[in-house]
Chains A and B, each alone.
Chain A
Amino acid sequence: MLKSRRLLVSLGVLMLAVGLGGCAPPGVRGVRAFEDLPAAEGEVASDAEFLFELSEKKYCSTDDAYRGMLYLIDGTDTSKDFEERTARMVMHGVADKSWKHNPTAVATKGKVAYMLVRALEIRGGVMYNITNGCPRYALRELIHNGMIKGGKENSKLSGAEYVGILGRAVDYREPRPWPKM
């Protein structure tokens, strides 16, 4: 009786581990140093220009989402193309290697939350941590702290929404003290 109970307990724990492990493949937490990849040559468009144009787009593409995230992490985006941008994102541990990485697909709030939580090294709550950082719980975490203003995991992200989110992400990373005017 005792043996079968132990077996059942082990089985339960195993299923739990499989379930959680399948939620998000293990990746590098936090952000690694940018120096690991060579910088691209050529002129780099300004982040102000990128953000201004993004704010006028109906939808934020995956390419835009990666670009915005790299500006946040590295302060610049010197990638020549989407493939290089993706490589940088994966190298940073911000994007997941198993994703489809379709540059023209609309970015979802879940994935953007997943990337932001890693980029900003936000600890997250209990559910976020026991699910190894599911986009669903990453999104809930960012909705809770006010960085993302509602929505669901698969909600499409507009360009203007992403610009607003990036603004709050910058504030999170570098809080603005009230200036003496």
Chain B
Amino acid sequence: MARLIISSGILMALLCAPVQGQGEPAAEAGQDKKPAATVATAKDVAGQGQTLTVSVKSVSGSAEVRESSDKSWRAVKVKDVYQEGAEIRTGYRAKVELTFADNSHVIINRISHFRVDKFRRSGNKVVTRSHLSYGALQAGVEKGPAFSDYKITTSLGTLGVNGTRDIWLDVDPGAGYGIICLTQEGGIDWNIGRGSDRFVDPGGCTDHKGRGQDQRKHICNNINLVPFGSTGTEEDLGSIYGNQGSNSFNPTGSGNNPMATNGTTNGTNGGTNGGTNGDTNGWKEQF
């Protein structure tokens, strides 16, 4: 008994000894900067349709915007109107709610950097490409008369979110980690490159490794997810992802679906966009 106590005492003392003497790492903190992210300016997409605007619905906390990468940062104000190339960065307790001209919404949450790469109408199609470098956002792509080609690029791949409402996206490129949840309707095709996709149904959550329930328990426990039921099969997913333009959500995936193959198309485009952004930003390759 006594031996046991002495042994445990020695063990505990040894266990903690290195902690006390932990040294500072020899390397100095570098000021290495990654190359500036490429911004799709109006010039890049000239002749590809009419540029649309994004307006600020509400703002709280410390949030700054720059109209393009060569301009200086200034505070975000309510009713501000931005175009393609605008970047928004937020502080600790900040929140910026944006309304896109096609009635889609984006709420940029705390500690985030968001960029509108492309937002324009061409015929009956509205193309939106936004980029979340780091942080968290919530988004809803509203149904409307025009077809919406909506994608959010991240360093962890591209999300095709057509006809989708209430996305909760959290991206941490430093840890190579991302998670997405979907509350109400639609579907998300998260193309993480190398031919891998993560599909999210209403009421579902997944991280970039496809760990749904575990991550939901840890991270999404503050979200009131509204499950609409599972689509069940991959055939059904095509219908859900392509239901943009329809005014009613059909959880069974049946019915009229003019964009039934949209999920596949998004996946291809997403891979290209995600890869480009990832390389440019110089983040860790996790996949």
Quick check: B29 and A59 within 8 Å, CB to CB? yes
Quick check: A164 and B110 within 8 Å, CB to CB? no
Among B30, B140, B176, B219, max chain A CB count under 10 A is at B30
Given A75-B92, A145-B218, also A12-B6 (CB < 8 A): yes
| Bound complex: CA A45 to CA B136 (Å) | 22
- When distances are taken between beta carbons in the complex, the residues of chain A under 8 Å from B2 are 5, 8-9, 12
A167 contacts chain B at the CB level, 8 A cutoff: yes
| Bound complex: CA A146 to CA B177 (Å) | 11
How many residues on B have C-beta within 8 angstroms of the other chain's C-beta atoms? 69
Interface with B: A29-37, A78-86, A104-112, which one?
Answer: A104-112
Quick one: CB contact mask for A66-82 with B, threshold 8 Å, 1 for yes? 00000110010000000
Quick check: B34 and A56 within 8 Å, CB to CB? yes
A42 contacts chain B at the CB level, 8 A cutoff: no
Quick check: A159 and B92 within 8 Å, CB to CB? no
| Bound complex: CA A167 to CA B166 (Å) | 20
Interface with A: B14-22, B234-242, B247-255, which one?
Answer: B14-22
Given A46-B91, A166-B111, A167-B172, also A57-B134 (CB < 8 A): no
Quick one: CB contact mask for B163-191 with A, threshold 8 Å, 1 for yes? 00110101011111100000100000000
Interface of B is mostly: mixed
B12 contacts chain A at the CB level, 8 A cutoff: yes
Quick check: B174 and A71 within 8 Å, CB to CB? no
- When distances are taken between beta carbons in the complex, the residues of chain B under 8 Å from A100 are 23-24
| Bound complex: CA A48 to CA B95 (Å) | 11
Which residue of B is nearest A148, CB measured? B175
| Bound complex: CA A104 to CA B199 (Å) | 43
Quick one: CB contact mask for A146-181 with B, threshold 8 Å, 1 for yes? 101110011010111111111110110011111101
Among the listed A49, A136, A160, which residue makes an inter-chain contact with B73, where contact means beta carbons less than 8 Å apart? A49
- When distances are taken between beta carbons in the complex, the residues of chain A under 8 Å from B177 are 149, 164
| Bound complex: CA A158 to CA B14 (Å) | 30
| Bound complex: CA A11 to CA B2 (Å) | 9
A24 contacts chain B at the CB level, 8 A cutoff: yes
Could you list 28 A-B pairs, sorted by A, with CB under 8 Å? Answer: A5-B1, A5-B2, A15-B6, A16-B8, A19-B9, A46-B62, A47-B62, A48-B89, A51-B92, A57-B29, A58-B30, A58-B31, A59-B28, A106-B29, A107-B29, A108-B25, A131-B19, A146-B219, A159-B174, A160-B134, A160-B174, A161-B175, A166-B92, A167-B112, A170-B110, A178-B166, A181-B107, A181-B166
Q: Could you list which residues of chain A lie within 8 angstroms of chain B, going by C-beta atoms?
A: 5, 8-9, 11-16, 18-20, 22-24, 46-49, 51-52, 55-64, 71-72, 75, 100, 102, 104-108, 110-111, 131, 134-136, 145-146, 148-150, 153-154, 156, 158-168, 170-171, 174-179, 181
Q: A24-B20, A167-B135 are in contact. List 19 more A-B contacts (CB 8 A).
A: A11-B5, A15-B10, A16-B8, A47-B92, A51-B92, A55-B134, A57-B33, A59-B28, A59-B29, A63-B29, A100-B23, A108-B22, A135-B22, A153-B22, A160-B173, A164-B134, A178-B222, A179-B107, A181-B138
